[in-house]
Protein backbone atom coordinates (compact mmCIF):
# COMPACT_ATOMS: atom_id res chain seq x y z
CA UNK A 1 0.00 0.00 0.00
CA UNK A 2 1.09 3.59 -0.57
CA UNK A 3 3.24 5.37 1.98
CA UNK A 4 3.44 9.14 2.29
CA UNK A 5 6.11 11.00 4.25
CA UNK A 6 6.14 14.70 5.01
CA UNK A 7 9.21 16.33 6.55
CA UNK A 8 12.55 17.95 6.01
CA UNK A 9 15.26 17.51 3.42
CA UNK A 10 18.56 19.04 4.39
CA UNK A 11 22.20 19.54 3.67
CA UNK A 12 24.19 18.45 6.70
CA UNK A 13 27.71 19.13 7.90
CA UNK A 14 28.64 16.40 10.35
CA UNK A 15 31.70 15.59 12.41
CA UNK A 16 32.21 12.23 14.15
CA UNK A 17 35.30 10.40 15.39
CA UNK A 18 35.36 8.74 11.93
CA UNK A 19 35.64 12.00 9.99
CA UNK A 20 33.85 15.05 8.74
CA UNK A 21 31.50 15.62 5.82
CA UNK A 22 30.22 18.92 4.50
CA UNK A 23 26.87 19.80 2.90
CA UNK A 24 25.87 16.17 2.41
CA UNK A 25 22.32 15.03 1.76
CA UNK A 26 20.31 14.62 4.96
CA UNK A 27 16.99 15.52 6.58
CA UNK A 28 14.41 13.43 8.41
CA UNK A 29 12.16 12.86 5.40
CA UNK A 30 15.13 11.96 3.22
CA UNK A 31 16.42 9.26 5.57
CA UNK A 32 12.89 7.98 6.14
CA UNK A 33 12.00 7.87 2.45
CA UNK A 34 15.18 6.13 1.32
CA UNK A 35 14.97 3.54 4.13
CA UNK A 36 11.28 2.89 3.38
CA UNK A 37 11.93 2.68 -0.38
CA UNK A 38 13.52 -0.76 0.05
CA UNK A 39 10.04 -2.08 0.89
CA UNK A 40 7.95 -0.27 -1.73
CA UNK A 41 7.32 3.09 -3.40
CA UNK A 42 7.29 6.21 -1.23
CA UNK A 43 5.55 9.55 -1.76
CA UNK A 44 7.49 12.52 -0.41
CA UNK A 45 6.32 16.00 0.51
CA UNK A 46 8.83 18.66 1.51
CA UNK A 47 10.74 21.71 0.40
CA UNK A 48 14.25 22.35 -0.87
CA UNK A 49 16.05 25.42 -2.18
CA UNK A 50 17.34 26.20 -5.62
CA UNK A 51 20.66 24.75 -4.48
CA UNK A 52 19.24 21.21 -4.24
CA UNK A 53 21.56 19.12 -6.36
CA UNK A 54 20.39 17.20 -9.41
CA UNK A 55 22.34 14.15 -8.22
CA UNK A 56 20.42 14.15 -4.93
CA UNK A 57 17.11 14.35 -6.75
CA UNK A 58 18.30 11.51 -8.96
CA UNK A 59 19.20 9.41 -5.90
CA UNK A 60 15.66 9.77 -4.52
CA UNK A 61 14.02 9.10 -7.87
CA UNK A 62 16.29 6.14 -8.45
CA UNK A 63 14.92 4.63 -5.24
CA UNK A 64 11.34 4.94 -6.51
CA UNK A 65 10.51 7.95 -4.37
CA UNK A 66 7.81 10.10 -5.95
CA UNK A 67 8.73 13.77 -5.78
CA UNK A 68 5.46 15.38 -6.96
CA UNK A 69 5.19 16.96 -3.51
CA UNK A 70 8.75 18.29 -3.42
CA UNK A 71 8.55 22.05 -3.66
CA UNK A 72 11.57 23.98 -4.87
CA UNK A 73 11.56 27.41 -3.24
CA UNK A 74 13.73 30.45 -3.87
CA UNK A 75 16.70 30.48 -1.51
CA UNK A 76 18.81 27.81 0.08
CA UNK A 77 17.91 24.35 1.38
CA UNK A 78 17.61 23.75 5.13
CA UNK A 79 21.04 23.22 6.69
CA UNK A 80 22.08 21.44 9.88
CA UNK A 81 25.52 21.13 11.33
CA UNK A 82 26.42 18.86 14.24
CA UNK A 83 29.10 16.92 16.01
CA UNK A 84 29.22 13.56 17.80
CA UNK A 85 31.85 12.55 20.32
CA UNK A 86 32.47 9.61 22.66
CA UNK A 87 29.96 6.78 22.23
CA UNK A 88 28.00 8.81 19.64
CA UNK A 89 24.72 8.74 21.52
CA UNK A 90 24.08 12.47 21.54
CA UNK A 91 24.45 14.99 18.73
CA UNK A 92 25.71 18.42 19.57
CA UNK A 93 24.04 20.88 17.20
CA UNK A 94 26.53 23.48 16.02
CA UNK A 95 24.32 25.38 13.62
CA UNK A 96 20.81 25.29 12.15
CA UNK A 97 19.73 27.40 9.20
CA UNK A 98 16.03 27.06 8.39
CA UNK A 99 16.39 28.83 5.00
CA UNK A 100 13.50 27.61 2.79
CA UNK A 101 11.75 26.02 5.78
CA UNK A 102 10.91 29.49 7.04
CA UNK A 103 7.27 30.15 6.23
CA UNK A 104 6.89 26.80 4.46
CA UNK A 105 3.60 25.00 4.81
CA UNK A 106 3.36 21.50 3.30
CA UNK A 107 0.92 21.00 0.44
CA UNK A 108 0.01 17.40 -0.23
CA UNK A 109 -0.63 16.80 -3.95
CA UNK A 110 -4.11 15.54 -4.78
CA UNK A 111 -2.74 12.19 -5.93
CA UNK A 112 -1.10 11.60 -2.52
CA UNK A 113 -4.09 12.46 -0.32
CA UNK A 114 -5.52 8.97 -0.26
CA UNK A 115 -2.24 7.42 1.03
CA UNK A 116 -3.22 4.67 3.49
CA UNK A 117 0.10 4.97 5.36
CA UNK A 118 1.25 8.43 6.41
CA UNK A 119 4.34 9.42 8.35
CA UNK A 120 4.78 12.90 9.72
CA UNK A 121 8.51 13.26 10.28
CA UNK A 122 9.70 15.70 12.90
CA UNK A 123 8.21 19.18 12.24
CA UNK A 124 6.35 21.82 14.22
CA UNK A 125 3.13 20.11 15.42
CA UNK A 126 0.99 22.78 13.75
CA UNK A 127 2.52 21.87 10.38
CA UNK A 128 1.99 18.18 11.08
CA UNK A 129 -1.65 19.02 11.80
CA UNK A 130 -1.94 20.93 8.53
CA UNK A 131 -0.82 17.77 6.71
CA UNK A 132 -3.42 15.63 8.48
CA UNK A 133 -6.08 18.14 7.40
CA UNK A 134 -5.17 17.31 3.80
CA UNK A 135 -5.15 13.50 3.91
CA UNK A 136 -7.80 10.86 4.45
CA UNK A 137 -7.97 8.68 7.59
CA UNK A 138 -6.13 5.85 5.80
CA UNK A 139 -4.87 2.78 7.64
CA UNK A 140 -2.07 4.17 9.78
CA UNK A 141 -1.08 7.73 10.56
CA UNK A 142 2.19 7.98 12.43
CA UNK A 143 4.36 10.83 13.67
CA UNK A 144 7.70 11.69 15.20
CA UNK A 145 8.55 14.79 17.24
CA UNK A 146 11.51 16.35 19.03
CA UNK A 147 12.35 18.10 22.29
CA UNK A 148 12.12 21.55 20.70
CA UNK A 149 8.38 21.10 20.11
CA UNK A 150 7.80 19.40 23.45
CA UNK A 151 9.22 22.51 25.09
CA UNK A 152 7.90 25.22 22.79
CA UNK A 153 4.60 23.84 21.44
CA UNK A 154 3.41 21.37 24.05
CA UNK A 155 -0.32 21.97 23.61
CA UNK A 156 -0.11 21.71 19.83
CA UNK A 157 1.84 18.49 20.29
CA UNK A 158 -0.81 17.04 22.62
CA UNK A 159 -3.47 17.94 20.07
CA UNK A 160 -1.48 16.11 17.38
CA UNK A 161 -1.05 13.01 19.53
CA UNK A 162 -4.83 12.72 19.72
CA UNK A 163 -5.02 12.66 15.92
CA UNK A 164 -2.53 9.90 15.08
CA UNK A 165 -2.57 6.10 15.35
CA UNK A 166 1.10 5.69 16.12
CA UNK A 167 3.97 7.72 17.47
CA UNK A 168 7.62 6.78 16.94
CA UNK A 169 9.91 8.75 19.25
CA UNK A 170 13.04 8.31 21.30
CA UNK A 171 13.35 7.60 25.02
CA UNK A 172 14.24 11.17 26.02
CA UNK A 173 11.25 12.48 24.07
CA UNK A 174 8.86 9.95 25.63
CA UNK A 175 10.07 10.98 29.08
CA UNK A 176 9.76 14.67 28.25
CA UNK A 177 6.26 14.41 26.76
CA UNK A 178 4.90 12.49 29.77
CA UNK A 179 7.14 14.05 32.47
CA UNK A 180 7.73 10.48 33.62
CA UNK A 181 11.33 9.39 34.36
CA UNK A 182 10.57 5.65 34.18
CA UNK A 183 10.57 4.74 30.53
CA UNK A 184 8.12 1.85 30.81
CA UNK A 185 5.63 4.10 32.53
CA UNK A 186 6.35 6.89 30.03
CA UNK A 187 5.57 4.53 27.16
CA UNK A 188 2.29 3.40 28.70
CA UNK A 189 1.35 6.98 29.56
CA UNK A 190 1.90 7.93 25.90
CA UNK A 191 -0.96 5.57 25.00
CA UNK A 192 -3.31 7.59 27.20
CA UNK A 193 -2.44 10.69 25.19
CA UNK A 194 -3.98 9.33 22.01
CA UNK A 195 -1.93 6.98 19.83
CA UNK A 196 -2.88 3.32 20.00
CA UNK A 197 0.68 2.30 19.14
CA UNK A 198 3.82 3.77 20.69
CA UNK A 199 7.33 2.87 19.56
CA UNK A 200 10.15 4.12 21.72
CA UNK A 201 13.61 4.13 20.13
CA UNK A 202 16.53 3.76 22.52
CA UNK A 203 19.43 4.00 20.05
CA UNK A 204 22.05 1.37 20.78
CA UNK A 205 19.74 -0.03 23.47
CA UNK A 206 17.00 -1.18 21.11
CA UNK A 207 13.33 -0.29 21.12
CA UNK A 208 10.04 -0.83 22.92
CA UNK A 209 6.58 -1.29 21.45
CA UNK A 210 3.55 -0.38 23.52
CA UNK A 211 -0.11 -0.89 22.72
CA UNK A 212 -3.10 -1.28 24.98
CA UNK A 213 -2.81 -5.04 25.19
CA UNK A 214 0.69 -5.74 24.02
CA UNK A 215 4.30 -5.04 24.92
CA UNK A 216 7.37 -5.95 22.90
CA UNK A 217 11.06 -5.22 23.41
CA UNK A 218 14.09 -5.73 21.20
CA UNK A 219 17.78 -4.96 21.60
CA UNK A 220 19.55 -3.04 18.84
CA UNK A 221 21.49 -4.80 16.13
CA UNK A 222 24.97 -5.25 17.62
CA UNK A 223 27.27 -3.03 15.56
CA UNK A 224 30.99 -3.05 16.22
CA UNK A 225 31.47 0.33 14.65
CA UNK A 226 29.32 3.39 14.07
CA UNK A 227 30.53 5.94 11.56
CA UNK A 228 27.72 8.50 11.77
CA UNK A 229 24.48 8.19 13.78
CA UNK A 230 22.74 10.99 11.86
CA UNK A 231 19.40 9.79 10.53
CA UNK A 232 19.31 6.56 12.54
CA UNK A 233 15.94 7.34 14.09
CA UNK A 234 14.43 8.34 10.75
CA UNK A 235 15.86 5.24 9.07
CA UNK A 236 14.30 3.20 11.87
CA UNK A 237 10.92 4.83 11.23
CA UNK A 238 11.38 4.29 7.49
CA UNK A 239 12.00 0.59 8.00
CA UNK A 240 8.98 0.30 10.29
CA UNK A 241 6.55 2.16 8.04
CA UNK A 242 8.01 0.77 4.82
CA UNK A 243 7.52 -2.78 6.04
CA UNK A 244 4.01 -2.12 7.37
CA UNK A 245 2.92 -0.40 4.16
CA UNK A 246 4.29 -3.30 2.14
CA UNK A 247 2.48 -5.81 4.38
CA UNK A 248 -0.69 -3.69 4.42
CA UNK A 249 -1.48 -4.92 7.93
CA UNK A 250 -0.87 -3.48 11.37
CA UNK A 251 -1.48 -6.36 13.75
CA UNK A 252 0.78 -7.47 16.57
CA UNK A 253 2.82 -9.83 14.44
CA UNK A 254 3.48 -7.26 11.74
CA UNK A 255 4.35 -4.57 14.27
CA UNK A 256 6.99 -6.84 15.82
CA UNK A 257 8.50 -7.61 12.46
CA UNK A 258 8.32 -3.93 11.52
CA UNK A 259 10.28 -2.96 14.62
CA UNK A 260 13.04 -5.41 13.73
CA UNK A 261 13.16 -4.08 10.16
CA UNK A 262 13.37 -0.58 11.63
CA UNK A 263 16.29 -1.63 13.77
CA UNK A 264 17.98 -3.26 10.77
CA UNK A 265 17.60 -0.15 8.60
CA UNK A 266 19.01 2.07 11.36
CA UNK A 267 21.96 -0.29 11.77
CA UNK A 268 22.86 -0.04 8.08
CA UNK A 269 22.44 3.70 7.99
CA UNK A 270 24.98 4.42 10.74
CA UNK A 271 27.69 2.41 8.97
CA UNK A 272 28.53 5.37 6.75
CA UNK A 273 28.03 9.12 6.48
CA UNK A 274 24.89 10.66 4.99
CA UNK A 275 22.85 8.12 2.98
CA UNK A 276 25.97 6.49 1.57
CA UNK A 277 25.29 3.03 3.03
CA UNK A 278 21.79 3.03 1.54
CA UNK A 279 23.23 3.81 -1.90
CA UNK A 280 24.85 0.40 -2.10
CA UNK A 281 22.37 -1.54 0.07
CA UNK A 282 20.27 -4.39 -1.30
CA UNK A 283 17.05 -5.94 -0.10
CA UNK A 284 18.91 -9.26 0.21
CA UNK A 285 21.34 -7.68 2.71
CA UNK A 286 18.39 -6.32 4.67
CA UNK A 287 16.70 -9.70 4.88
CA UNK A 288 19.97 -11.41 5.81
CA UNK A 289 20.45 -9.01 8.70
CA UNK A 290 16.81 -9.48 9.71
CA UNK A 291 17.42 -13.23 9.92
CA UNK A 292 20.65 -12.67 11.81
CA UNK A 293 18.72 -10.50 14.24
CA UNK A 294 16.25 -13.31 14.83
CA UNK A 295 19.11 -15.71 15.56
CA UNK A 296 20.83 -13.63 18.20
CA UNK A 297 17.58 -12.90 19.99
CA UNK A 298 16.12 -16.40 19.60
CA UNK A 299 14.64 -18.03 22.64
CA UNK A 300 16.55 -20.75 24.38
List residues binding its own copies (CB under 8 A).
86-87, 175, 181-185, 188, 202, 204-206, 208, 215-220, 222-226, 252-257, 260, 294, 296-300
Q: Which helix (H) or strand (E) holds 84?
A: strand 78-84
- Smallest distance, Å, CB 14 to its own copies? 18
- Smallest distance, Å, CB 291 to its own copies? 11
Considering beta carbons, is residue 64 or 219 the nearer one to its own copies? 219
- Smallest distance, Å, CB 295 to its own copies? 9
Could you please report the per-residue DSSP string of the chain?
--EEEE---EEEEEEETTEEEEEEEE-HHHHHHHHHTTTS-EEEEEEEETT--HHHHHHHHHTTEEEEEEEEESSPPEEEEEEE-TTS-SEEEEEEE-GGGTT------GGGTT-SEEEE-S--HHHHHHHHTTS---SEEEE---HHHHHH-HHHHHHHHTT-SEEEEEHHHHHHHHT-SSHHHHHHHHHHTS-SEEEEE-GGG-EEEEETTEEEEEPPP--S--S--TTHHHHHHHHHHHHHHHHT--SHHHHHHHHHHHHHHHHHHTTSSTTHHHHT--HHHHHHHHHHHHHHT---
- Smallest distance, Å, CB 12 to its own copies? 22
- Smallest distance, Å, CB 241 to its own copies? 16
Residue 249, φ and ψ in degrees, nearest 5:
-135, 150
Q: How far apart are CA 40 and CA 242, in angstroms?
A: 7
Considering beta carbons, is residue 104 or 216 the nearer one to its own copies? 216
Considering beta carbons, is residue 66 or 88 the nearer one to its own copies? 88
Considering beta carbons, is residue 29 or 186 the nearer one to its own copies? 186
- Smallest distance, Å, CB 243 to its own copies? 11
Considering beta carbons, is residue 39 or 208 the nearer one to its own copies? 208
Considering beta carbons, is residue 63 or 202 the nearer one to its own copies? 202
Considering beta carbons, is residue 76 or 205 the nearer one to its own copies? 205
- Smallest distance, Å, CB 143 to its own copies? 23
Amino acid sequence: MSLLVVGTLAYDTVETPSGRVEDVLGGAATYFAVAASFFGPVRLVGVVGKDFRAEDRALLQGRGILLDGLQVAPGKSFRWSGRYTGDLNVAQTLDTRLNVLEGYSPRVPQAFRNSPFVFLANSPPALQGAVLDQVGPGVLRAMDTMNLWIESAYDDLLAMLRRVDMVILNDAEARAVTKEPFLIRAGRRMLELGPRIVMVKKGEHGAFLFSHNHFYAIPAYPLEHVVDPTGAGDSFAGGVMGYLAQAGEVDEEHLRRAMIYGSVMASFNVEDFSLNRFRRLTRAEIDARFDEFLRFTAHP
